[in-house]
Amino acid sequence: MSARTRFAPSPTGFMHIGNLRTAIFEYLVAKHDGGEFLLRIEDTDQNRKVEGAIDFIYNTLDLCNMKIDEGPKTPGEYGPYIQSERINIYKEYAEKLVEMGKAYYCFCAEETLEEMREYCDRKKIPFMYDGRCSHLTKEEIEEKLKNGEKYVIRQKMPKTGVSVVHDVVYGDVRVENQVLEDQILLKSDGYPTYNFANVIDDHLMHITHVIRGNEYLAQTPKYNLLYEAFGWEAPTYIHVPMVLGSDGNKLSKRNGDASFMDLYNEGYLPSAIVNYLVLLGWSPATNEEVYSMDDLIKNFDVNRISKSPATYDIKKLQWFNHKYINMLSDEEYLKFVRPYLTYDVSNKTEEWVNKLLTIYKDHLSYGKEINDLVGIFFNDDINISKENEEFLNSDESIPLVIKTYKEELAKLDDWNTEKIANVISIVKEKTGVKGKLLYMPIRIKISGIEHGPELPDEIYLIGREKVLERLS
């Protein structure tokens, strides 16, 4: 059977990039094996549900070139694919565990649980439910159910021995059963807990590989004990390292860290984001860094997933994005960057705007950055720094260079980059000046800064009238 993986996010808003990295790994595991990638919506926590979040998830995966084989909008034979629509399924399987003696009804009120917590606090021991309801007689249970008392269903955990879980990345993980609490499977509102719903859904949807963050590794024995209780085969587990921010903390949507849409709206290309994120915690067999989705599918190897946390570095993402921007055709580039330009160009020709944007293609790291780069062409007032003023007074040839530029540019009957480039050659020939003393004086005089695009392009875009005025 080919691999079947699932991406199972909560519908709580825009997709956080840590979750997207996990989705990418899940997609690559499935597609490398010629298998299927499912989308399942885990909305058991109804309080955190955000309207429209499912559309956000679909849009994100679509932009990232990750095709969903089965999901809420592309149903297959194992639906429904939204957990809130599967409540009866979870109730059926939870009650089946009760019948098998692997789970029990727990009628403890919140006040009782709070007393247990306070007791544990006084004793300075971790809180763990003591399993008192597991000793209720059949008659007591029936009486409480008949009286309509609220209950949850808890899993009956073994209290001796060791549970061993095999993970592709971390190997065999051993956990003493005595530290495993009788976890809640079905809450009092009829909704399943995250752990229980995942196991039921993964089995019924024939998921072969479960890929998730390594923070869930310690919970995995609870999953396996559920599989054992039902007599089901557990999936292959692949726990991936966390993605940390520059402060060393885990990236989190709750902490205000970037979502995919934040990056997309800033002008980061989805293909660049995918390429960068897949290398956070996974290393290819070669030294290459730039991969198309097809290349990633072909080369992805779960055995090259790291155990160590990866650090999210916006500068490195910008490097990738710059690479991908440069791979765009000029037509694709202009279509990409034009919406990010916020300056008023209503009095400019389309040719002027396209030229302006095109000369910065080799310099651009992300879409919105274009406004930082092109400001010199829209500011009427220029400010020359003290350092640049000193440079303009540093050599006796500079006034002659500036005067000659003005005279030669004023003669031009056709204002284009070819003619302007020829003027630079004329100034060089007439003054005998070259290098820094030839180029920097005019840059500083017309823009206020000593660096910029190719000088003929800069002079052309600033325009005849402004250039001659600033050279005066």
Any idea which residues carry the catalytic annotation? 253
258, amino acid identity = A
Strand blocks (E) in 206-337: 209-213, 236-240, 243-244, 310-311
Strands 184-186 and 152-155: antiparallel
Residue 223 to residues 25, 92, 260, 287, Cα–Cα distance (Å): 21, 18, 30, 38
Strands 152-155 and 103-106: antiparallel
Scanning the structure block, which residue is given the tokens 């570095």?
Answer: 313
- What is the C-alpha separation between 324 and 263, in angstroms, rounded? 14
Q: Cα 184 to the chain's mean position, in Å? A: 32
Q: If we measure between CA atoms, which residue out of 326, 266, 262 comes closest to residue 20?
A: 262
> Cis link prior to 80 (omega < 30° from 0)?
yes
Tokens, residue 297: 């599918």
The end-to-end CA distance of the chain, in Å, is 78
φ/ψ of residue 304, rounded to 5: -105, 15
DSSP SS3 for 102 = coil
Q: If we measure between CA atoms, which residue out of 191, 196, 201, 181 comes closest to residue 229?
A: 196
Determine contact, residues 274/246, Cβ cutoff 8 Å: no
Name 4's bridge partners.
36
Q: Provide the edge-to-edge strand list for the sheet that holds 209-213.
A: 171-176, 162-167, 236-240, 209-213
Q: Cα 225 to the chain's mean position, in Å? A: 33
| Cα dihedral across residues 257, 260, 265, 269: positive or negative | positive
DSSP string, 240-251: EPPEE-TTSSBP
